[in-house]
Amino acid sequence: MPPYCRQHPLPYRADPAVYFRRIHRQPGAILLDSGRPAAQRGRYDILSAWPLEELLPRDGEPGWAFFERLRASLRALSPARFESEGESESEGESEGEGDLPFAGGLLGYLAYDFGRRLEAPAGRDNDDIGLPDARFGLYDWALISDHRQQTSQLVFHPRCPAEKRRMLAECFAATPEAGFATELPAMPLEDFAARLHAAPSPADESRCAGPELGSGCEASGFSLTGEFRPAIDQDSYRRAIDRIHQYIQAGDCYQVNYTQRFQAGYRGDPWRAYSALRRACPTPFSGYLNLGGDDAVLSLSPERFIRLRQRQIEARPIKGTRPRGHTPENDRLLAEQLRDSIKDRAENLMIVDLLRNDIGRSSRIGSVHVPELFSLESYPNVHHLVSSIRAELADGLDAFDLLAGSFPGGSITGAPKIRAMQIIDELEPHRRSLYCGSLLYVDSRGEMDSSITIRSLLARNGRISCWGGGGIVMDSDWRAEYRESIDKVDVLMKTLEQSALD
């Protein structure tokens, strides 16, 4: 952490929703969620709101230019002493450096289509969702829970003023029983803090009738207005796979990640949907981002894209999937089938080679290596084959150089990357939007962590979208691939279809 970061301890909560739900409607509210207490692989939860500024790409702005604006924002939040020299600590605060992942900086997303602003040529114009290609907030505070140390604390960047620190400490110290502590509409932090302990209005009381003890009140439920429907039929899917096989035979590519989209109408609060989804499918790289109104990103991703910590790089691509079995014996057989599959290992190895090349662009010569190959990881709905690639960041480069050389992730494009992306543009009927992009942070020290936004949903303008896909190689059978694309997101769709979420 930068020197002099202040930390304010809070009661440890294994479930980040306990803290996040009270601010989830606030401007720029974001949760990077390890999936605890059910998921076991994640260590940290990071949440924040009320960014100092928001940054979106401008029309026609190249990716490198947007990254330079992000760098400039981080420089404005550069490590420094507190705004007021000699400023006293608030009650309960301490200074120091801890083993914490984020020390103030940028939190947000890159959509898959941001790749068009880097090196991929422009392609399909059918952007029927209209999500900006990227969106980042600049935050001078975060609430971080460390599940290894079993601590929760507010972490304040040196430029976070004392009055703001005091208000935030009060916001998270308050309990739902102390007043109308959750479900306040979006408002500035000063107004939120003032309303926190105020008596609820009659309208508030009617919305909050009968909350569960300790849960706070929720302003609205969530429900779909119909079932999820695919954007293409099975015959269109088959024709797309046939075309990919033709490209592979012609030598254009070795593998193409092909995806189909599912959509349904919805009404209500997407946070209620996310809360149900994280119970049904806890994963270590989940996340929620409030986009304003009833729009939000809901990600249940199992996949890390790239982490940069103390100049050490790690990527953990997923390639290879089987559904979970209905009995312990069947489940074990499916896991063994995946682990021993020559086809899945070959696909995984292709992506490992691609990522070695991408990461190598920004790495110290000779530092790229593969310490883990073809590991089996199991989640509530699927088994996955996972590998890891590590390297050391080259001198003079930073997290944005690393992103510029490797985004979007190779595990969700195919190989070779640029040609695979061109084929995706040709064959998928709509732009991918959020899907196969990344939720990430880059902090004031230059540290970064990021996910691949697979198993993710986008709630926008009354429609909720999710996507499922997989890597297509020469011996891929279209029926098996079609089934796999549904298996990957079936638990997400069924969770939202089966009942209204109050």
Task: Kindly give, in sequence order, each residue whose CB lies less than 8 Å from that of residue 156, ignoring residues fewer than 6 positions away.
Answer: 5, 6, 7, 8, 93, 104, 140, 141, 165, 168
Helix (H), strand (E) at residue 445: none
pLDDT value at residue 79: 55
pLDDT value at residue 175: 59
Dist CA 471 CA 256 (whole Å) = 6
Looking at 60-131, which runs of residues are DSSP E strands? Answer: 94-95, 105-110
pLDDT value at residue 205: 41
To the query of whether residue 319 is one of the catalytic residues in this protein, the response is: yes
Q: List the domains of the chain with CATH numbers.
A: 6-497 (3.60.120.10)
pLDDT value at residue 86: 46
- Going from the first residue of the chain to its last (502 residues), give the mean pLDDT of each consecutive group of 10, the final group possibly shorter: 77 94 96 82 93 97 97 83 47 61 97 90 78 98 95 95 95 62 82 76 43 37 95 97 98 96 96 95 95 96 95 93 91 94 91 94 97 91 92 98 96 93 95 97 96 97 96 94 93 88 63
To the query of whether residue 494 is one of the catalytic residues in this protein, the response is: no
Catalytic residue among 183, 303, 447, 481: 303
Dist CA 492 CA 199 (whole Å) = 38
Dist CA 421 CA 118 (whole Å) = 12
The answer to whether 418 and 252 have CB atoms below 8 angstroms apart is: no
pLDDT value at residue 202: 47
79 residue type, one letter: P
Catalytic residue among 319, 417, 447, 481: 319
Coil vs helix vs strand at 137: strand
DSSP state of 393: B
pLDDT value at residue 95: 56
Is residue 391 classed exposed, middle or buried when 0-12, 13-18 and 19+ CB atoms within 10 A define those classes? buried
pLDDT value at residue 208: 40
Neighbour-count burial for 265-283, b at 16+ CB within 10 Å, e otherwise: ebebbbbbbbbbbbebbbb
